[in-house]
Every structure is written in structure tokens, then in C-alpha cells.
Structure 1
């Protein structure tokens, strides 16, 4: 993967951080299951009305699977946001480091640079930084919680 990013010239860029984690096997399976749950009667009704396949997808399927798309979006953003190993490999530049890499560096600097440091202050600093790192994901979930919960529960009730 790193060689592909290097060939594209994406090392030390935001594209290298976001794109490799945005599409994975889980996302494909999730959307396949979500689209398979759309009733055939809705698709047949669109065909009877004279709509083409693209219009059926845009006007019928997408509104029905919107909760699944929102839930997948939240899960994907959380996955990319919380990733640690790939940003360490793909980014050498300090200006493009992710928050998790910065937190790890902070933990190493805080514990390594203070001889005889009081560990209660060290843990306080790390927990404060970790709490701040939680805020973007928490805000995303709060904004999309209705769609997220509907998407998670979409296939749980048969009827």
C-alpha cells in the first residue's frame, strides 16, 4: 500500500491518510446487505411508472438506504480517525500527523522528559488530551445518532 501511495505521490498527504481506510470489505458487505433489504415491490413499482434503473436507484433505493449510509459513514470516519498504524507509516511530516500519533508522541515526551515526574500530573495531561481527541467523534455521533441507530437496527426486526 505504501508503494502505491508513493507512486501516486501521496506520501505525507491527507489523501494517503483518508482514502485507504475509506473503502474496505466491511463497507462493501454492509452496503450489499443494506441494498438487498430493499423490497422488490418498490423497484417493480418504479419500473411500472417508467423509471430507468438509474432513476430507480436515485429516487427509490438511496432514500430507503439512507440510514445504512449514515451508519456506515459514522463507522468509517471513526475507523479512519482512530487509526494509528497507517498514519505512522504513511506520514513523516509533523504537519500531517493525526491526533492519535500526536497523543502517542505526547505520552512518550511527557513520561520521558521528566525525571522523577509526578505520575498523577502526567496521567492528567494525557487524559485531558485524550478527552479533547474524543470530542470530534462524539460530536459526529450526536449529530447523526438518529440515522446511525436506524441504520444499525434496520435489519434486526423482520416484518
Structure 2
């Protein structure tokens, strides 16, 4: 693998570290459950094998959603970077991104790349966000918000207005 491709890969991960970590961990868990299911299958315990397969499939879905979220965050990072280059630093650019750790990470990474990283970090700290604020604000208020179409639209189609 060339150095350029490696640095590009690291840019993707730095733009969305939480979704990539979640996706990778979920994928490993799904593969582990698959292996356990195959072991039960070969041992003749079909019911346990099916149970492990269902759990593995569920974690595979989580991994796919996390990876899709990571790609969306990278696209959002590029969009934010273009906005910073066009308009300069503005809190109005960062304001809609404050409600989610993944979006804050993407915004800070974009700000870092154009020279506004420290100002963007200070903005989010002034709003009261710290490193341990991982879940989106909406999900903290309502854990079932993951299932709402408006939440999914806002998560996977950055820049589109979501109806709430």
C-alpha cells in the first residue's frame, strides 16, 4: 500500500473515529458469533447455531450502519471544509453540527484542515460538550430516535434539512 493511500485512509478515520471504531468492533463481534455458530452447527446443535447466526447478523447490520455513518461524516467533513474556505470561520457553520459527537468530530477535523481547529474546539467546549458526550442529544432525550426517518435522513444525508 502506498503512503498516499495510507494517509487517505487515515483521513477517513480521523474525520469519523467513533463510527469507524464502532463498525470495526461490530464486525469483529459478528465474525466471532459466526464462528461460534459454525462450531455449534458442526457439533449438531442447530438451535444454538441459528441463535448465534441471528446475533451475528444483527451485529453485522450494526457494522454496516456504522460504516455508512462514517462515510456520511467524511462527506460532511468535505462539505464543511468547502464552507470554511468560501465563507471563513463562522459559528453558524458549526451550530447545526453540535448535537452529535460524530458531527462535532467531522467539523473539528474540517476546521483543523483549514486552520480553524482551535476556534472550533473552543466553540463546542463553550456549548458544554466534552469528550464523553458520545450519543447524539436527540438520542439522549429519546433512545428510540434511532428509528425515526428524520434522524436517519439527518445522519446519512448531511446538509439536507430534516423534518422533525
Scaled to the shorter chain, the TM-score interval is 0.3 to 0.5
Q: Which has the higher contact order (CA 8 A, sep 6+)?
A: 1
TM-score, normalised on structure 1?
0.33
TM-score (norm 2): 0.32
Name which one, 1 or 2, has greater alpha-carbon Rg: 1
